[in-house]
Chain A
Amino acid sequence: MNLILVTFIILLAFTSYYFGRKKALVIQSSQRLTALPKFYGYYLAAWCAAPALIIFVLWSVFEPSIVKTFILQDYTDQNLTKNELQLIYTKVKALAVGTYTGNITNFLDESANKYIQLKGIANSAKVAIILAILIFSLSFAYRSVQKNDRMREPVEIFLKWVLFVASLGAVLVTIGIIFSLLFEAIRFFQAVKIFDFIFGTHWYPAKTFVRDGQPDPELMKDAFGAVPLFAGTFFIAFIAMCVAIPIGLLSGIYLSEYAGRGVRKYAKPIIEILAGIPTVVYGFFAALTVGPFVKEIGNAMGLEVSSESALAAGAVMGVMIIPFISSLSDDVITAVPQNLRDGSYAMGATKSETVKKVIFPAALPGIVGSILLAVSRAVGETMIVVMASGLAANLTMNPLESTSTITAQIVVILIGDQQFGDPKTQSAFALGISLFIVTLFLNVIALSVVKRYREKYE
């Protein structure tokens, strides 16, 4: 139904384009055109499609909730909670489309009939309104075409608006992220105190699961302490940075200051392959090769190593991050003006002294910025931790034990079927918003540092 309507609108728009162009050619025979003939076509097509499609989208967005209020009006006297009402509505809908399998009560049957009726009315109203709009806007547009108004300007203004709306897309995504995270997180913080979440040291959400009923508030208090996750996240990120910073920085310096053209041409893209490998592949590698390897070495040294250690996950994550640091610091170092180098060489400094004493301090803000970006990347990394560092949230500073991170817990909680309204599910969104805030914070600082650094040398 909807598909037919949209196809109809689009086809009509195409025909009106040809019609408009033809009309322009007819006009041309008697008077001078004020725009190229195709703009007459575009003008008609835009007036045909845009209003109808906008109304169509708005209608489709609002129709379900309006129908829902109408249906649930019959149930307002029964004192039901929001969740129960939602359940009833789902049942009614299922019954109306014939996929309902429970036992059918009279009341439900009546509602389903009402639902079908309402849907029918809504559908015919939609078609009628859209047809009316099509006729109205087309006749309006046709009048301007006949008058031979300047056709190019309105078409270009319309196109500009289309471009503007598209550029709002990115903003819309951000709003969507914040909205979806906040909405569930707020409901979570109604059940669990924000203080318990931020400062609690015990994370064990599975404990709160109670079949058919509300979990015990006392249990909830103790189950959602996110400190072990925050600690684990930064601990693994720290291990990753211990691997990535020295290797990345040194290879970045070597590539920008020492390497010949040939080495640079091949080594740089090869190192960047490391950034292109999907993280799930790293996760598999960490779990299957690096984890057992670390365990073997540890056991040989007489240490107790769990087979899913923070060290294995962190080290592999560090390897993944090497190219970020190396190519970003390479760029930053290359941007240091040549006269600083020349000055240093003129004073008799060797190359490494120049790098250490002149270039590095000059490039430091940019390097710090790139490291912060890399940290934010490590904090947000999911699959390596899920696969290689275990899922139990231990509060530990021992790299040989397993720890968990914010991202890994989100996956653990949300894998499989979720029940919205369950504090366990909502806790994932609370974790998500803390992750979002942390990475946003790191990015904003990093970007502003890098920007200021660039301005300094431009």
Chain B
Amino acid sequence: MLKDIGKNMNNYKKNLLKKRYNAERRFQWYGKIAIGLALTFLAVFMFQIFSKGYSAFQKTWIVTEVHYDKELLLIDAESPSKDDLENADYYDVAYKAMTSLDPGLPEEEDRQLIQMVSYKYETEVKDLLLKNPDFLGKIVPIKLTASDDVDQVHKGNYPRDIPEKNRRVNDYQLQIYDMLNERGDILSEFNISFFTSPDSREAELAGIASSFMGTVFSILVCLAFSFPIAVLAAIYLEEFAPKNKFTDFIEVNINNLAAVPSIVFGLLGLGILLAVFNLPRSTPLVGGITLSLMTLPTIIIAARASLKAVPPSIREAALAMGASNMQTTMHHTVPLSMPGTLSGTIIGLAQALGETAPLILIGMVAFVNTIPGTPVDPAASLPVQIYIWSESAERGFVEKVSACIMVLLAFLILMNLAAQIVRHKFEKKWS
């Protein structure tokens, strides 16, 4: 009897222990699953962006033959000058170059062929002749930018089996495309114009040059405004500020400012910089100032942390040698804290780089088809460009958005790497 009870107890204990160990193992698994989920999401996300975006770095060309016929160009002179070529009429020549792909096509259907290349094809025909004046009167092969629909078909992003009326590329155009493809007259080359041309309404011509320059200018303006003020403020608060109500207030203020939603800074830029100071709308100057207000608390906090990390022995040694407080700070503490401050600054700038909402509010969302040369020219920025393109309906913009995201992420990774390098290479380890 007693033995049985003892046995039961033993069993009970064993079961309890087993249960507890199972719970332990389960709990560990929850943690692993949570981390796994977060990492999976990151992986899916990266895969999606890359698989959608890599094709934007390829550009599709249609090769055809162009006859620079003097008569069609309306050039009378025997040996035409550069001006003559500049002012010639390229419409017919370009038109012929495209329609020659299918001579049997009735004239009223010719739009179907013309639509297979970008609307700028006439300029491309003109540019080739201007570059090579001796082509005049000859028949030469020419590369024309394919329209975004043909481009998407060529990259396999466009389903061909949906009914014709739901397709932006009709059966006839597909037929021509297949014929050209078989002949090897569809070329795929590295898309340089994605990096060198400004934004465009046409997906095949759109590039990131304008928004890239806009981003660079905004970040420079942001750096120029936020870095000096933030470092000076951090030095004051960490080294000189007396402990009183007012400095406490400044401190609380900075901490709260760091958590204010970015869109509120956009409202500030709109309400003060544009409405009161009348700064030019849509420009990187205003964008940069708005962003600098946002990065100010981030840099102040980083700079203060790295000033705090300088050991007191350094200060005491300097003071013992007869340096004044200001000399101690400026000659010893501040230079020693610089690596930490700089890496904090770079991280703050990287945050500002990805910001979109405040820039939209101050008008940097305008369509800009020129490359800005100064901070007071209207411009977009890379994140805003992502927003603008993702609102467009054309299929060709999807890969452009993904490619733009890849450029932006590359930029961010570079900046974060720079911050790491600055921190690890130059920071002194106090032990």
Contact = CB atoms under 8 A, between A and B. Distances in A.
Interface in A173-202: 173-174, 176-177, 179-181, 183-184
- Pick from A183, A247, A440 the residue with the most CB of B within 10 Å: A247
A163 B356 CA distance: 32
Contacts of B32: 254
A27 B166 CA distance: 90
A414 B263 CA distance: 11
B264 A278 contact: no
A152 B326 CA distance: 10
Contact of B39 (A181, A271, A353, A439): A271
5 contacts: A169-B229, A170-B250, A281-B49, A319-B41, A382-B357
A435 interface: yes
A277 interface: yes
A86 to B, nearest CB: 11
A382 B34 contact: no
Contact of A407 (B236, B263, B272, B405): B263
A254 B34 contact: yes
A253 B31 contact: yes
Contact of A254 (B26, B28, B326, B350): B28
Interface of A: 152, 156, 159-160, 162-164, 166-171, 173-174, 176-177, 179-181, 183-184, 246-251, 253-255, 258, 267, 270-271, 273-274, 276-281, 283-285, 287-289, 319, 322-323, 326, 350-353, 355-356, 373, 376-377, 379-383, 386-387, 407, 410-411, 414-416, 418, 420, 428-429, 432, 435-436, 439-440, 443-444, 447
Majority secondary structure, B binding face: helix
B352 to A, nearest CB: 10
B390 A381 contact: no
Contacts of B26: 352
B55 to A, nearest CB: 15
B387 A167 contact: no
B296 A173 contact: yes
Given A152-B324, A353-B24, A410-B361, 5 more contacts: A247-B38, A276-B416, A278-B353, A319-B41, A414-B270
A383 B24 contact: no
B268 A180 contact: yes
B150 interface: no
B35 interface: yes
Given A180-B268, A435-B264, A166 B232 contact: yes
Interface string B327-361: 00000000000000000000000100111110011
Contacts of A180: 267-268, 270-272
Given A170-B300, A176-B272, A382-B263, A267 B233 contact: no
- Pick from B37, B240, B267 the residue with the most CB of A within 10 Å: B267
B263 A380 contact: yes
